[in-house]
Structure 1
Amino acid sequence: MKNVQAYYQTFQEEMGWDKVDPQDFQSSKEFLLYIHMLLTTEVAEVAEEFRTILYRTKDLTETGMDQNAAFIQAKQEVRESLGKELADCLAYLCKLANYFDYDLEDELRSKLEEIRGKYKK
């Protein structure tokens, strides 16, 4: 994840999208609201791809295809678009993590350890 975050930071700089001063309230407020809107939109687009999989599976089974085969085909049909939507989500998560100076890899490891402890595994 460190490499992904660094790669995204470099991309932002190349695109000129790194102009927010984390010490300035007004620009930070606008940035946070805007990124929140973009991230939630992308998460909704992931949900749309899931819905497409379910509806397509239903349509294919109504033509006589085995349900599992229909599901596999439906997943394959949305594979490219779902991947793009997941990448969009990851990009906005990296943008937020970089803004707040989080190491997402460390945060994920910490969270998983917390969960492991909760379930005593």
Structure 2
Amino acid sequence: MNTVFEDSKKFIQMYREKGLNKGVVIDVLCDYVLDYNFVEILDSFLKEAVPRGQYNGVIHSGAYDPDEEEYFGEKSVLFYYCIAEDDFEDIVTHEELCSYLEVASEFYIAKHPKQTNEVKHYLSQIKEK
């Protein structure tokens, strides 16, 4: 039986092997894969309505008007993670988002093979956006 720590290490290693190194993106996705229903999370990425918490989450650029100070670019996604008094964030393009979600999906499918078709369906739809 794997522990959350072991799963987290394996999850992070999969990103390193693919040359993907945006730590905040990886940390937030790791939480989503290990602590949430990841199929529902993929659905929320498709709808650009990913659940946000006080300490971590995702914001799509469409949540802001381009004239707003908080706007961070067209078709971009901001991942944030807060630890104690420190706030960390990474911004990715839609193409980068798809690369990160693909790795998270590979990890999830390995642990939940019965959900392979659903995961691949959502991933495909997200890529087409």
- Could you say whether these structures have the same fold, taking a TM-score greater than 0.5 normalized by the shorter chain as the test? no
In terms of fraction of residues, the more helix-rich structure is 1
Q: In terms of Rg, which structure is larger? A: 1
Higher RCO (Cα < 8 Å, 6 or more apart): 1
In terms of fraction of residues, the more strand-rich structure is 2
